[in-house]
Amino acid sequence: MSSVVVDERPLPLRARIQQVFTAFVAEHGFRGTALGDVAERLGISKGTILHHFKSKEALLARVGEDYIDRRERELRQILRRVQDPRERLIAFILSITLCHRDDLDATRVFGREFARYADSPHLNRVRERRRGYTHTVEEVIVAAMDAGVLCRDEPSVVALQIFGMCNWTWAWYQPEGPLTIEQIADRYVRTLLRGLGTAEAIAAEESVARSAWLRALVAESAALAWQGQAVREG
């Protein structure tokens, strides 16, 4: 969360390895990343990395595991603090969009590297947890349908439409662009709620999306998700 939390204590080496590795994989892909380059960037030896992590693949798995941890905690925070089905949905959309600024490298890695490689037990565990996460999201969607906010439809397909629009962000977003991530997130919320919503719901409400407290709540949830993990060990 480079640009939000400002905790400038020097990170333990283990965490710095993970961080630099994540950045490399985000830029060059898993197979395009050489542990030697990561070591050089950190001014340490290649052996040190393998001392802290069993293998290159285990390192990737740890990155994915930590990422899904953060997303799960974040989502849990949101569901704990928001009850209204419509607002839950909005908060969810905001959260998975905002993490493209606050957790960009890991988001890229997660989006790209955990799609393929159907085998490999390490990565499969992460994929399984993602399925669990998706399942929770689908429950949020069904609740929104029950409340008359969204049109009835196959929840999995609705979820994929939402994920699709938001997740594409990592393919083009750059922090220095003309639009802030908040502006982008607002667009997504508006488009998706109108696009997937019932006629009544659209007519009734005029963009609660930008209600300040929802935004603040999401930001807070994200911050909490990061903290919960600061202590993580080998």
Partner DNA sequence: TATGGTTGACCGCCCGTTCAGTCAACCAGT
Partner DNA sequence: ACTGGTTGACTGAACGGGCGGTCAACCATA
Q: Name the binder of 137 from DNA, its own copies, none, CB < 5-8 A by kind.
A: none
- Token digits for 9? 């204590």
Site map for its own copies, 96-125, x if CB under 8 A?
Answer: ----------------x--xxx--------
What is the rounded CA–CA span in Å between residue 90 and residue 71?
A: 15
Q: Alpha helices of the chain — where are they, by DSSP H?
A: 13-28, 35-42, 46-52, 56-81, 85-102, 104-113, 121-146, 155-167, 181-196, 199-204, 212-227
CB count within 10 Å of CB 194 equals 11
Stretch that binds DNA, among 35-43, 61-69, 189-197, 224-232 (CB under 7 A): 35-43
Stretch that binds DNA, among 32-40, 83-91, 114-122, 150-158 (CB under 7 A): 32-40
Q: Name the binder of 1 from DNA, its own copies, none, CB < 5-8 A by kind.
A: none
Check binding of 109 to DNA (CB under 7 A): no
User: From the CB of 104, what's the least distance to its own copies, in Å?
Assistant: 14
Contacting positions for its own copies (CB under 8 A)? 27-29, 31-32, 112, 115-117, 153-154, 157, 160-161, 163-169, 171-172, 178-179, 184, 187-188, 190-197
